[in-house]
Amino acid sequence: MRQLAVYRNGILAGILTEENREKYLFQYDDNYLLSIENQSISLTLPKSTQVYTSEILFPFFYNMLSEGVNKKLQSMTLKIDENDHFGLLSKTSQYDTIGAITLKPLN
């Protein structure tokens, strides 16, 4: 099981979990849900106490990945299988992302 902390504008919004590359979970952080000022991280993942589940990496997170030549270059440089989307996400979405969302590995 691998997990990433999901931040929106530097505030912990929730946890993204991969279970054996077969199941993905996203759950909002309780403190994030308490503030009406905190917005949903995406339209497809509205603020809720429910645990979102998917058999594939949620499209919102998948779309944060590079494509084509850039993806190949990142895979080679980081020594991560090109099809390990969660692994690539964990290494490439920590800092310089487009938009308000960043992801950081949990210790």
Is the distance from CB of 101 to CB of 7 less than 8 angstroms? yes
> Among 69, 24, 30, which Cα is nearest to 44's?
24
Lowest mean pLDDT among 11-15, 28-32, 43-47, 103-107: 103-107
Domain containing 14 equals 2-105
Model's pTM, two decimal places?
0.85
Residue range 24-72, pLDDT digits in tens: 999 999 999 999 999 999 999 999 999 999 999 999 998 888 777 877 8
Q: Would you place residue 107 in the very low, low, confident or very high pLDDT band (cuts 50, 70, 90)? A: low
The separation between CA 62 and the C-alpha centre of its own chain, rounded to angstroms, equals: 8
Residue 59 half-sphere exposure, CB side, CA atoms within 13 Å?
4
32 CB neighbour count, 10 Å cutoff: 19
Cα dist from 14 to 26, 39, 59, 71, 76, whole Å: 7, 12, 16, 26, 29
Side by side, the strands of the sheet bearing 11-19 are 52-54, 23-28, 11-19, 2-8, 101-105
> Among 22, 65, 23, 24, which Cα is nearest to 14's?
24
**Structural domains of the chain, count:** 1
